[in-house]
Amino acid sequence: MQTDAALAISLVVLAGILCQWIAWRVRLPAILFLLLTGILAGPVTGVLDANLLFGPLLFPFISLSVAIILFEGSLSLRFHQIAGLRRVVRNLVSVGVLVTWLITTLVTHLALDFSWQLSFLFGAITVVTGPTVIVPLLRTVRPTAAVANVLRWEGIVIDPVGATLAVLVYEFILSGSGGNALGNTVASFARIVAVGLCSGIGAGYLYGTILRRHWLPEYLHNVATLALVIIVFTLCNHLHHESGLLAVTVLGMWLANMRDVHVEEILDFKESLSVLLISVLFIVLASRIDFADFVRLGWPAVFVLLAIQFLARPLGVMISALGSRLSWPERHLLSWVAPRGIVAAAISALFALRLEQAGHAEAPLLVPLTFMVIIATVVLQSSTAGFIARALGVSEPDPRGILVIGANHVAIALARSLQEAGFRPLLIDTSLNRIERAMEAGLRVFFGNPVSEQADRQLDLVGMGRMLALSAHGSLNTLACMHYRMEFGAREVYTLQTMEEQDLSRQRRASPHLAGKTLFGSDVTFSSLSALLARGWRPMATRLDNDLDLAALRRRHGREILPLFAISPRERLHIFTVEEPPAPAAGWTVISLAPETSFNSRLLNADR
């Protein structure tokens, strides 16, 4: 029996990781594949019986998993990032949350005849979206930068905000279940909040002090943090029933914002652990779905979904966007995109179990209702958001973001030419001096190693379509191409060879399908471009017509130009490479490196 249980758990873990890998490959939210796997394994085939597999440990497993997931989410929330957000984002996670919560609550109560307590709880659970479902959708839809920025930051910030709201509503329900006196209810609710806040802040301050003063060796940071989360969660629940989730959320937020406390490595570990827990948790939760509960909900549940999609979200967005610079098409797209995700599913399952034990007969229906909203919003919005964005004119037909490896003078010169042509380069470098020079040139930058875990976690690739490796170090260029080829595709990673690479024999060079396409020409290297820039050569943009093709352009300047990029009439960027040089025609714009004496009236206006 123990062997069978171990095998079943192993298969669940394997299935969860496979679902995550498939989601990464097809760039869709992993929740779709996890839910499908759980439904197939549970109610469809009956292969997985979570109650039999975990027995009395099911409830503690869900509780601890939710606590760790919430702690990981709050650990990534830094107040200085919130302070710099657009006003519409701040409104969405405050006013927008309130509007969505109240409308969902009202419709749930009227349509399904839920009690006001459970209706308020369901409304709080379904206000969260989350970056795990937003980011894959954005990479597929490719909306304008304004829409992508708002949705991405809303997903990051609303996770702990919405989860905390759900926890507080849930605690309020339990605090009122022991008596009818309003005074006792308010007092019990206040004690829950007090225990959660004081325990979270106190534990965060003490542990942060330990980390800041290096009283704990680095190899124990990750496991000690995990132990702390578990201990704080269980002790708070012991001090006052159901105060643990609030405590671990506050604990994570406190550590993330405590001065001189570095939590990057802890966050890396917690993110990896959360992926594992989420993968297993979703399959287990989906396997417990009873199709009879969906039948019990009936058609009125569809009205709840329609109200969330067509009333609560649009109204929240429109109120939040008042006075902003967002265009009406951008506001319409924001009103459509708000898929629910992991936190909603996990918290609904946890609260349903506990409320059922507390005697709330309708509590089991929270899970199928929440899962219906998750599945419907993810499937509906993933399949239609791209079409709607294109119809509204707020979708980029070709991603205009370009990741540039290196912030040296060559990279800055080429990036500025692309930016002046209407594209959005983002330069990443490990040198603070080079980063500062790029910022002075008016370019977007990211300070860090392009192939580090920090970049994987913090680098915003939404709207990015290709990568140019322009570092002076050939090994870094090759490594970056290998690292990002799965993100952008092998056809959209490019590398500038160095003199050392040019001197290598063909047998000793990196494989072309790994190293990326060779930029600009077989004889062009970083050193040769650097020398041309030192001699006064600069990027020059020229529009071709029937009388001036690329060959004529070369003849006009005595072949003293080096074509770099070509932009089609449809604003698609083509890059000159050894493998696939473009063939620009009339109406195209060619950006070339040329001596300053070659600049003429065909230079594009800067406001193009």
- We report the CATH number of the domain holding residue 465 as 3.40.50.720
500 and 365 in a single domain? The answer is no
Angle at 556 between CA 550 and CA 561, to 5 degrees: 65
State both tokens at 478: 């090759």
227 and 340 in a single domain? The answer is yes
Model pLDDT, residue 600:
47
How far from the centroid of its chain's Cα atoms is residue 278's Cα?
15
State both tokens at 444: 């977007």
Question: Which of 344, 362, 392 is the last residue in one of the domains?
Answer: 392
Range of the domain at 93: 58-392
Between CA 284 and CA 350 the distance in angstroms is 12
If one counts the domains in the chain, the total is 2
Q: Express each pLDDT in 170-226 by its tens digit.
A: 777 776 654 554 565 566 677 778 888 899 899 999 998 998 888 888 888 888 888
State both tokens at 279: 């993968």
Q: Is residue 604 assigned to a domain?
A: no
344 and 455 in a single domain? The answer is no
351 and 461 in a single domain? The answer is no
Q: Is the pLDDT of residue 487 over 60?
A: yes
Under the phi-then-psi rule, with left for phi > 0, alpha for psi from -120 to 50, and beta for the rest, what region is 467? Answer: beta
Per-state percent for the chain, helix, strand, coil, to nearest 5: 65, 10, 25
Between CA 481 and CA 484 the distance in angstroms is 5
328 Cβ partners below 8 Å, 6+ apart? none
Ranking 200-204, 275-279, 483-487, 556-560 by mean pLDDT, the lowest is 556-560
256 and 294 in a single domain? The answer is yes
Cβ neighbours of 176 (radius 10 Å): 17
233 and 119 in a single domain? The answer is yes
201 and 230 in a single domain? The answer is yes
Q: Rg (Cα) of the chain, in Å, rounded?
A: 27
Model pLDDT, residue 597:
60
State both tokens at 272: 């990896």
Of 600 and 467, more confident: 467
Cβ neighbours of 209 (radius 10 Å): 12
Mean pLDDT of 486-511: 68
Ranking 130-144, 376-390, 488-502 by mean pLDDT, the lowest is 130-144
State both tokens at 226: 């995990």
Q: Is residue 368 assigned to a domain?
A: yes
Mean pLDDT of 573-585: 83
Q: Is residue 413 assigned to a domain?
A: yes
323 and 469 in a single domain? The answer is no
Q: Express each pLDDT in 338-373 by its tens digit.
A: 888 777 877 787 788 778 777 777 778 888 888 888
Helix (H) or strand (E) holding 573: strand 573-575
Q: Is residue 331 assigned to a domain?
A: yes
CATH number of the domain at 220, please.
1.20.1530
DSSP 325: S
Residue 571, Cβ density class (10 Å: 0-12 exposed, 13-18 middle, ≥19 buried): middle
CA atoms within 13 A on the CB side of 10: 6
The answer to whether 266 and 221 are in contact (CB under 8 A) is yes
Residue 507: band (very low, low, confident or very high) from pLDDT cuts 50, 70, 90 = very low
Phi, psi angle pair for 289, to nearest 5°: -65, 135
Question: Which of 360, 392, 424 is the last residue in one of the domains?
Answer: 392
Q: Express each pLDDT in 95-154 by its tens digit.
A: 899 999 999 999 999 988 888 888 988 998 888 886 667 767 777 777 877 787 788 778
Q: Is residue 33 assigned to a domain?
A: no
How far from the centroid of its chain's Cα atoms is residue 580's Cα?
33
DSSP 398: S
First to last CA, the chain: 71
Q: Is residue 48 assigned to a domain?
A: no
Helix (H) or strand (E) holding 466: strand 464-469
457 and 533 in a single domain? The answer is yes
Q: What is the bridge-based pairing of β-strands 589-594 and 562-567? A: antiparallel
Between CA 328 and CA 101 the distance in angstroms is 24
35 Cβ partners below 8 Å, 6+ apart? 282, 286, 371, 374, 375
The answer to whether 120 and 368 are in contact (CB under 8 A) is no
Query: Which three-class secondary structure state does DSSP give residue 494?
Result: strand
The CA-atom distances, in angstroms, between 468 and each of 397, 489, 534 are 20, 13, 21
Phi, psi angle pair for 445, to nearest 5°: -135, 160
Mean pLDDT of 491-500: 82
Model pLDDT, residue 314:
93
529 and 447 in a single domain? The answer is yes
Between CA 239 and CA 243 the distance in angstroms is 8
230 and 369 in a single domain? The answer is yes
Residue whose token pair is 């919005």: 381
Average confidence score pLDDT of the chain: 80
Q: Is residue 290 assigned to a domain?
A: yes
419 and 308 in a single domain? The answer is no
Question: Which of 374, 392, 410 is the last residue in one of the domains?
Answer: 392
Q: Is residue 2 assigned to a domain?
A: no
